[in-house]
Chains A and B, each alone.
Chain A
Amino acid sequence: MPIKILMPALSPTMTEGNLVKWHKKEGDSVKSGDLIAEIETDKATMEVEAVDEGVIGKILIPEASENVKVNATIAVLLEKGESLADLEGFITTDTPVVKEVILEVTPVEVTPESPTVVNSSSRIFATPLAKRIAGDRGLNLAHITGSGPQGRIVKEDVLAHTPGRSAAVISGPSPFQDKPVSTMRKVIGKRLTESKQTVPHFYLTIDCAIDALMQIRKSLNENLPNTKLTVNDFVVKAVGMALQEVPAANAIWMGDTIRYFTHADVSIAVALDEGLITPIVRSVNLKNLGALSSEIKGLVQKAKEGKLKPEEFQGGAFTISNLGMYGIQQFGAIINPPQACILAVGAGIQKPVAVDGTIDVATLMTCTLSVDHRVVDGSIGATFLAAFKKYMENPALMLVGE
């Protein structure tokens, strides 16, 4: 018998939603786990996966339909060996075919076999120990997510749970958890402590107006179908070009010598769950924005999967740390030794600026360069930042670089 695909409830309180998009059309075969449609509620857009295997026989609710009731039949799936002919009686007797644009869907009666979807989640599974600890601490198990089989709440889940405001006041010491320091954290701790204690840092801050850059980025992204340039891609390119222009800033401290690099190898700080890592984009000066963008994407992906090779994150003379996506306006980064410079990039924020005696609005990005004074003096750092600002504010220059 054909299988009905019902409008799913994405949360226990959802009663209706919008069917935004079909990923399958009539005649497509689906298997369990396939993405079949996108459903939107007032809270979120969610993807719907197929549970059963078969061929989409008939789509009953077209995409871009609003206010589709939960449990309404949105499509019918044909099982192996069934054909469209099997659908005829099935649909007409059972399900009203809905018209093109639906504002109100005729409610389809809920099948009696599955009336307790909500109830099934109300039963909380927890080990006796987890229950006892939660009881002792006045924690509500309903607020704790279980990590055991079938979502069973175990001791560790209760211990790791930080109660929200609604939890009862706890007497005695606050619960805490000691975690051993991972190798990565140890390395971060050692290197950055050493850097902050032994490297004479000084800081230079500059504002870049990036309205032109945003414009050119928008236009490039609209016209290049397979490329999605980020602001950070432009920052990397601008740094690479500024380093070429001010080679005195493209250097590292070697103790007895200072090493100056020919090409601009730029490290990018990537946040990971357990710390951060700085994959290197080599010879930024020789690459165009599109190539840089895809290389950076690849490196970030590998970094997050922990698949970077040592040569992909060791070396370089210059690091970029960009916290703009978190809305951070300005910050000072710690130099990543033996490198001499790190650029801390803030968010592009619209601000009033005075131009020739009148107030104008510009998108300003505040960038702070931390510099190792042993390698780079103030005037060189300032010259570098001025060059960087020039490229950021005149992004067309990036198109004619080397």
Chain B
Amino acid sequence: MPIMTVREALRSAMAEEMRQDPKVFVMGEEVAEYQGAYKVTQDLLQEFGPERVVDTPITEHGFAGLGVGAAFLGLKPIVEFMTFNFSMQAIDQIINSAAKTLYMSGGQLGCPIVFRGPNGAASRVGAQHSQCFASWYAHCPGLKVVSPYSAEDAKGLLKSAIRDPNPVVFLENELMYGQSFEVPEGDYVTPLGKGKIVREGTDVTITAFSIMVGKALKAAEQLADQGISAEVIDLRTLRPLDIELIVESVKKTNRLVCTEEGWATCGIGAEIASQIMDHAFDYLDAPIARVSAKDVPLPYAANLERLALPTVDDIITAVKNVTYK
């Protein structure tokens, strides 16, 4: 299989969908002339022209609203946020307009839109530019929330998101853009709402999404050396959550560690823990553990930033706690 970076995978997903469906277009800050702040929209302007690759003013609330309006009228916009931190400006459009209108219109008015861009911490960009929005958006009915790890899934899930008739929040990660993975050739899609077991194990289940999948896999490898067999699940979609996959895994391993880069309070891990108690209480042999960022705005200083973000060692410690090792 060819090797591709996550950046190239995302670009080719958009390009393929734009070729297939003339209703698909990209808009956002610097997506056209500058080729994307992180070069994810490279060469799209050259191929599809300024009608379909649209540079917007620096107003997230404004252009997100334009995108939602275009989607209401039948187009399929891909709205890029330079980072999801700036989507806080546009959250009224995303939730009140995009997510709720299908319900409020009694099914008459859908909103086939994708909001995409890098999410979570990058590297020393300060507290306002380092936030994970996974739990914010996964909280809201009417939205689908996707957060891929590998290039293969980044491409397959973005194509699914573009084709989906509902608003999809697509959370990427700046530090993952340059990472390479094997990617299948041809036109394929990865279904929304389905997680994936990326490493099989018998002693503990570790859930992760986005950059945390890599950390979970590293932890699992080190744990294997210590005789603990960890199963790692890449959640891939956070809403709707593939709880069935996690339940089946926990029934096998009896222990669960939920990881995420955001804060623990009201987080994805909290949600999974609650649902596992609903569906697999009698299979639990230890309290469910969470591994997350420390409960502070992310520090700017490199040493403090390292301490605040969840690490491979944090995962190993949590696994040892729940396996009583």
List chain A positions with a Cβ less than 8 A from chain B: 127-132, 147-149, 154-156
> Is A129 a contact partner of B282 (Cβ separation < 8 A)?
yes
Q: Does B37 have its Cβ within 8 Å of any Cβ on chain A?
A: no
> Is A155 a contact partner of B282 (Cβ separation < 8 A)?
no
Q: Could you tell me the distance between the alpha carbons of A154 and B324 in the complex, rounded to whole angstroms?
A: 9
Q: Which residues of B contact A147 (CB under 8 A)?
A: 324
Minimal Cβ-Cβ distance residue in B for A131: B282
> Is B324 a contact partner of A127 (Cβ separation < 8 A)?
no
Q: Could you tell me the distance between the alpha carbons of A128 and B278 in the complex, rounded to whole angstroms?
A: 12
Q: Which residues of B contact A130 (CB under 8 A)?
A: 285
The distance from the CB of A390 to the nearest CB of chain B, in whole angstroms, is: 54
Q: Could you tell me the distance between the alpha carbons of A154 and B322 in the complex, rounded to whole angstroms?
A: 11
> Is A128 a contact partner of B324 (Cβ separation < 8 A)?
no
The distance from the CB of A136 to the nearest CB of chain B, in whole angstroms, is: 10
Q: Could you tell me the distance between the alpha carbons of A236 and B281 in the complex, rounded to whole angstroms?
A: 60
16 contacts between A and B (CB under 8 A): A127-B284, A127-B286, A128-B282, A128-B283, A128-B284, A128-B285, A129-B254, A129-B282, A129-B283, A129-B284, A129-B285, A132-B282, A132-B283, A148-B286, A149-B324, A154-B285
> Is B286 a contact partner of A154 (Cβ separation < 8 A)?
yes
The distance from the CB of B261 to the nearest CB of chain A, in whole angstroms, is: 28
Q: Which residues of B contact A131 (CB under 8 A)?
A: 282
Q: Could you tell me the distance between the alpha carbons of A149 and B254 in the complex, rounded to whole angstroms?
A: 17
Q: Which residues of B contact A155 (CB under 8 A)?
A: 254, 285
Q: Could you tell me the distance between the alpha carbons of A128 and B255 in the complex, rounded to whole angstroms?
A: 11
Minimal Cβ-Cβ distance residue in A for B284: A128
CB neighbors of A among B226-266 (8 A): 254
A interface: dominant SS: helix
Q: Which residues of A contact B254 (CB under 8 A)?
A: 129, 155
Q: Which of B282, B283, B324 contacts A148 (CB 8 A)?
A: B324
The distance from the CB of B259 to the nearest CB of chain A, in whole angstroms, is: 22
Q: Could you tell me the distance between the alpha carbons of A156 and B203 in the complex, rounded to whole angstroms?
A: 12
Q: Could you tell me the distance between the alpha carbons of A390 and B183 in the complex, rounded to whole angstroms?
A: 85
The distance from the CB of A347 to the nearest CB of chain B, in whole angstroms, is: 41
When each residue 152-175 of chain B gets 1 if its CB lies under 8 Å from chain A and 0 otherwise, what string results? Answer: 000000000000000000000000
CB neighbors of A among B262-305 (8 A): 281-286
Q: Which residues of A contact B284 (CB under 8 A)?
A: 127-129
Minimal Cβ-Cβ distance residue in A for B251: A129
Q: Which residues of B contact A149 (CB under 8 A)?
A: 324
Q: Which residues of B contact A128 (CB under 8 A)?
A: 281-285
Q: Quick one: which of A129, A132, A155 has the most chain B CB within 10 A?
A: A129
The distance from the CB of A127 to the nearest CB of chain B, in whole angstroms, is: 5
Q: Which residues of A contact B282 (CB under 8 A)?
A: 128-129, 131-132
Q: Could you tell me the distance between the alpha carbons of A35 and B285 in the complex, rounded to whole angstroms?
A: 37
6 nearest interchain CB pairs?
A129-B285, A132-B282, A155-B285, A127-B285, A128-B284, A128-B281
Q: Could you tell me the distance between the alpha carbons of A76 and B79 in the complex, rounded to whole angstroms?
A: 77
The distance from the CB of A283 to the nearest CB of chain B, in whole angstroms, is: 42
Minimal Cβ-Cβ distance residue in A for B286: A127
The distance from the CB of A149 to the nearest CB of chain B, in whole angstroms, is: 8
Q: Could you tell me the distance between the alpha carbons of A319 and B324 in the complex, rounded to whole angstroms?
A: 41
Q: Which residues of A contact B283 (CB under 8 A)?
A: 128-129, 132
Minimal Cβ-Cβ distance residue in B for A154: B285
Q: Quick one: which of B281, B285, B324 has the most chain A CB within 10 A?
A: B285
Q: Could you tell me the distance between the alpha carbons of A130 and B283 in the complex, rounded to whole angstroms?
A: 8
Q: Which residues of B contact A156 (CB under 8 A)?
A: 324
Given contacts A128-B281, A128-B282, 9 further A-B contacts (CB under 8 A): A128-B283, A129-B254, A129-B283, A129-B284, A129-B285, A149-B324, A154-B285, A154-B286, A154-B324
Q: Which residues of A contact B324 (CB under 8 A)?
A: 147-149, 154, 156
Minimal Cβ-Cβ distance residue in B for A126: B285
Q: Could you tell me the distance between the alpha carbons of A149 and B323 in the complex, rounded to whole angstroms?
A: 11
Q: Which residues of B contact A148 (CB under 8 A)?
A: 286, 324
Q: Which residues of A contact B286 (CB under 8 A)?
A: 127, 148, 154
Q: Could you tell me the distance between the alpha carbons of A127 and B284 in the complex, rounded to whole angstroms?
A: 7
Q: Which residues of A contact B281 (CB under 8 A)?
A: 128
Q: Which residues of B contact A132 (CB under 8 A)?
A: 282-283
The distance from the CB of A339 to the nearest CB of chain B, in whole angstroms, is: 36
Q: Could you tell me the distance between the alpha carbons of A129 and B281 in the complex, rounded to whole angstroms?
A: 8
Minimal Cβ-Cβ distance residue in B for A127: B285
Q: Could you tell me the distance between the alpha carbons of A397 and B283 in the complex, rounded to whole angstroms?
A: 69
